[in-house]
Amino acid sequence: MIMIIDVHRHMVVHGTVQGDYIRGAQKSFSMMYRKVYNVEISDREFTEKVVRPLTDPNADNIIAEMDGAGVDKTVIFGVDYGLLFGESPIHIFDQNKLYANAAKRHEGRLIPFMAIDPRRKGAPQHCDQAYHEWGMKGFKLHAGVGYMPDDPVCYWVYEKAAEWKIPVMVHTGGAPSVALGGRIHGLRTLPQQPHAILRSTLFLHTAGM
């Protein structure tokens, strides 16, 4: 029997992103929406009429969509833009707990990953708690907000992933309002990095995937 797993899903929760990100997201996402559906809608209208109704802090709507599409499991995670855009009303540590709680609410359907900027103060200790106490199943790094996957600042994440035998997913595209100049370093310095990276399961994805 084939199992269908959606490996990239965010929950829409008020307070998980803040102003600068929202403004950038409005422009980029509403532009795509207008192009796909051939409709006239302003950036603000897109947020109010399309995005806000998707608010789903318990992931109940996600489960309903999965059932309708025949998806067995979904990997869920937030995004840690705090050090780039400023902290959101709900701190990323609390956002990770929110994702862990949603996964417990829908046991067996949702796979929660820890979203973390590896440069963040207290990040290793937080991830210890998220893995050991909350049962989170992987890491999500959002490269492009100030570091890249081959940056030494990420090494501790790969070490823990290898120790715990959990995957690391890395966003290699941009973020709204962030230009990477077309540079996707990937893991170009892999041979120079610790063996822990080679023992980690690493997924790279670009924006929109």
Cα 43 from chain centre? 23
Mean pLDDT of the chain: 86
Listing DSSP states for 158-190 in one string gives HHHHHHHT-EEEEE-S-BTTB--TT---TTTTG
The Cα 126–Cα 170 span in angstroms is 19
Residue 143's domain is classified under what CATH number?
Answer: 3.20.20.140
* pLDDT for the residue numbered 136: 99
154 in any annotated domain: yes
Domain hosting 196: range is 5-12+57-205
pLDDT digits (tens, 9 = 90+) for 2-25: 999 999 999 999 999 887 777 888
Cβ contacts of residue 189 below 8 Å, gap of 6+? 150
How many structural domains does the chain have? 1
43 in any annotated domain: no
Whole-structure pTM value: 0.85
Is residue 129 predicted with pLDDT exceeding 70? yes
SS3 73: strand
144 in any annotated domain: yes
118 in any annotated domain: yes
pLDDT digits (tens, 9 = 90+) for 35-49: 999 999 999 899 899
18 in any annotated domain: no
CA dihedral 172, 173, 178, 180 (to 10 degrees): 80
pLDDT digits (tens, 9 = 90+) for 151-171: 899 999 999 999 999 999 998
23 in any annotated domain: no
Q: What angle do CA 75, 145, 8 make, to 5 degrees?
A: 15
35 in any annotated domain: no
- What confidence category does residue 192 fall into, taking pLDDT thresholds of 50, 70 and 90? low
Q: What angle do CA 111, 112, 117 make, to 5 degrees?
A: 145
50 in any annotated domain: no
Listing DSSP states for 32-61 in one string gives HHHHHHT----HHHIIIIIIGGG--TT-HH
List the one residue out of 168, 80, 93, 98 whose CA is nearest residue 127: 93
Q: How many CB atoms lie within 10 A of CB 205?
A: 13
List the one residue out of 2, 95, 17 whose CA is nearest residue 57: 95
CB contact burial 70-96 (16+ within 10 A = b; e otherwise):
ebebbbbbbbbbbebbeebebebbebb
Structure-token match 């370093």, residue found = 185
